[in-house]
């Protein structure tokens, strides 16, 4: 019975129940009333700290205005929903924590969601939006949430005083519109979002929703700012960069990059200051200097890996990231542990013909066939294993014990920092959108090294030292802005720009910056 209770708890954290999988006989199942009561009580009893309660007294002018405007709407008979716009480092999360703690301390339900696991992990009681509201992952094929009016989720939404949605700028407009229809249906009200108080937050200077093989026009049209709901929101902008408060010129430089105002030369490139760049004089020598500038002596981190966890090299593509991670793990102290995956075709008849081919593949979102780790090295989680306990897609961890069938790791960032967890091998299937030719499952530990990570993966994280390796120029809206804004000051950023040809070495401080001005213009409306 204790085992069943533990399984039930994990399933509930992921928006499921024992009944969904017929794990217990009907007479032992939980009734709808019991499930509803438990779900509401769980939200009502989310823990908050004394520190979070005191945050409202530490807000700056912009945050105070947003806080008071939102709190006034909590008890207003006709609700006005909001969008909190703020560049990276302006304290959006600080504001969210204050609002959530205030409402929860008064016994009210405040639901917190985000699109990515890493954003959820820094919001107390946060959940993935798709999981919380049962939004289909493929929104193009099904534009309705799988939530009935009689369900426990519906009862919870009715009880909630506020719904907070972080990273909404990364959502496709269809996702927001589906959420709006859900609330209108549950609340039986045609007002925007069913008359509920919804606070969205985000930064349209950062990367936009990922739409595979989309043209620029299609991507812009799919953005939240193109939804009819955008005009119903009250916009509040946070402008004071708290993260870069000691480096005002850096803060202004970030804004110019994010808004596409940094001057470009005749080739459409912007200039980075020389103090921020690594001179290029050959691939190997230059990359070694970038690694040295970010990490220094790798032997130091074996005894204290926490000195390393907030240092990272960012790049635009997975191939470059994998190359850098392999280079650094080879130099990291101690003996390697190699974990080999089991790759199986979905059609068993193809297994004998394609096994070696599958082993050679490295699809996006899957761990490598040959995973090489060392004790105390940094890793990043590739799946949402248990977001309520800090195990999200994007969580960074430190390897503590490398066993045959499990990895004992320590969560290195966020509210669960220092917590020890055991990671198992799990089956991971290639995405339907991956063009590998042969659909297959890879059973492997759901982690990768994270001395380096992609720029998109770093979104939402703050780092002490940032290396930017531009073996190829950035290719998507907001990528350069996201990469540079992970740091708190210009002195904590080093960029290595690889020239297209050796004769271009004189332009080593110049690179491309991709900004969709039409999105930013729509966001200001």
Query: For 367-424, what is each residue's pLDDT tens digit?
Result: 999 999 999 999 999 988 887 788 888 889 999 999 999 999 999 987 789 999 999 9
Using an 8 Å Cβ cutoff, are 447 and 426 in contact? no
**How does residue 36 score in pLDDT terms, banded at 50, 70 and 90?**
low
Using an 8 Å Cβ cutoff, are 309 and 378 in contact? yes
Using an 8 Å Cβ cutoff, are 381 and 453 in contact? no
Query: For 321-330, what is each residue's pLDDT tens digit?
Result: 999 999 999 9
Query: For 343-356, what is each residue's pLDDT tens digit?
Result: 998 888 888 778 88
Give the pLDDT mean for 270-274: 92
**How does residue 305 score in pLDDT terms, banded at 50, 70 and 90?**
very high
**How does residue 27 score in pLDDT terms, banded at 50, 70 and 90?**
very low
Check residue 47 and give its pLDDT.
81
Check residue 244 and give its pLDDT.
67
Structure letter (DSSP) for residue 386: B
Query: For 166-204, what is each residue's pLDDT tens digit?
Result: 999 999 999 999 999 999 999 999 999 999 999 999 999
Residue 315 DSSP SS3: strand
Check residue 87 and give its pLDDT.
86
And the tokens for 155? 């009862």
Judged against a pLDDT cut of 80, whether residue 218 lies above it is answered with: no
Long-range contact set of residues 318-324: C-beta below 8 Å, sequence gap at least 24: 318/362, 318/364, 318/454, 320/452, 320/469, 320/471, 320/472, 321/452, 321/453, 321/454, 322/362, 322/368, 322/448, 324/287, 324/291, 324/451, 324/452, 324/469
CA 39 centroid distance within chain: 25
Q: Is 241 left (phi over 0), alpha (psi -120 to 50) or beta?
A: beta
- Mean pLDDT over each residue of the chain, to the nearest integer: 87
Using an 8 Å Cβ cutoff, are 214 and 487 in contact? no
Judged against a pLDDT cut of 90, whether residue 60 lies above it is answered with: yes
Query: For 101-131, what is each residue's pLDDT tens digit?
Result: 999 999 999 999 998 877 877 888 888 888 8
Check residue 436 and give its pLDDT.
58
Closest of 443, 500, 433 to residue 471, by C-alpha = 500
Closest of 268, 430, 432 to residue 364, by C-alpha = 430
C-alpha 125/C-alpha 411 separation (Å) is 17
């Amino acid at each position: 019975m204790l085992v069943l209770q533990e399984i039930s708890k994990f399933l509930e954290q992921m928006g499921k129940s024992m009944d969904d999988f017929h794990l217990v006989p009907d007479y032992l199942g939980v009734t709808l009333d019991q499930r509803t009561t438990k779900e509401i009580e769980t939200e009502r009893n989310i823990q908050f700290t004394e520190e979070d309660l005191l945050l409202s007294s530490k807000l700056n002018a912009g945050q105070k205005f947003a806080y008071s405007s939102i709190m006034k709407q909590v008890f207003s008979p006709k609700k006005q929903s909001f969008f909190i716009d703020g560049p990276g480092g302006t304290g959006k999360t600080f504001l969210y924590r204050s609002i959530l703690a205030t409402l929860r301390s008064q016994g009210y339900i405040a639901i917190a969601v985000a699109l990515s696991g890493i954003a959820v992990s820094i919001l107390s009681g946060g959940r993935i939006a798709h999981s919380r509201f049962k939004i289909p992952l493929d929104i193009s094929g099904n534009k309705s949430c799988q939530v009935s009016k009689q369900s426990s989720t519906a009862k919870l939404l009715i009880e909630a005083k506020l719904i907070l949605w972080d990273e909404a700028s990364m959502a496709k407009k269809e996702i927001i519109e589906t959420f709006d229809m859900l609330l209108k249906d549950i609340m039986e009200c045609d007002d925007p979002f069913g008359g509920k108080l919804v606070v969205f937050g985000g930064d349209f200077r950062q990367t936009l929703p990922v739409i595979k093989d989309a043209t620029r026009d299609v991507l812009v049209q799919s953005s939240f700012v193109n939804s009819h709901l955008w005009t119903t929101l009250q916009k509040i902008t946070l402008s004071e960069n708290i993260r870069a408060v000691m480096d005002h010129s850096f803060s202004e430089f970030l804004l110019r990059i994010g808004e596409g105002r940094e001057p470009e030369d005749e080739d459409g490139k912007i200039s980075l200051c020389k103090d921020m760049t690594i001179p290029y004089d050959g691939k190997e020598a230059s990359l070694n200097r970038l690694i040295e500038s970010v990490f220094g002596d790798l032997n130091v981190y074996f005894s204290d890996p926490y000195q390393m966890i907030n240092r990272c090299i960012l790049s635009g593509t997975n191939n470059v990231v994998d190359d850098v991670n392999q280079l650094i793990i080879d130099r990291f102290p101690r003996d390697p542990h190699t974990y080999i995956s089991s790759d199986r075709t979905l059609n068993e008849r193809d297994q004998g013909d394609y096994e070696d081919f599958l082993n050679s593949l490295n699809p996006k979102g899957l761990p490598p066939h040959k995973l090489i780790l060392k004790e105390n090295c940094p890793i990043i989680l590739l799946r949402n294993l248990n977001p309520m306990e800090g195990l999200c897609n994007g969580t960074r961890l430190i390897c503590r014990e490398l066993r045959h069938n499990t990895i004992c790791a320590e969560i290195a960032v966020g509210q669960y920092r220092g917590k020890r967890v055991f990671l198992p091998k799990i089956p991971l299937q290639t995405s339907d959108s991956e063009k590998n030719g042969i659909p297959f499952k890879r059973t492997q530990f759901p982690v990768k090294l994270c001395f380096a990570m992609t720029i998109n993966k770093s979104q939402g994280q703050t780092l002490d030292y940032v290396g930017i390796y531009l073996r190829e120029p950035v290719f998507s809206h907001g990528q350069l802005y996201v990469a540079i804004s992970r740091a708190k000051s210009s002195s904590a950023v080093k960029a290595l720009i690889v020239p297209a040809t050796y004769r271009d070495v004189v332009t080593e401080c110049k690179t491309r910056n991709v900004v969709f001005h039409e999105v930013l213009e729509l966001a200001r409306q």
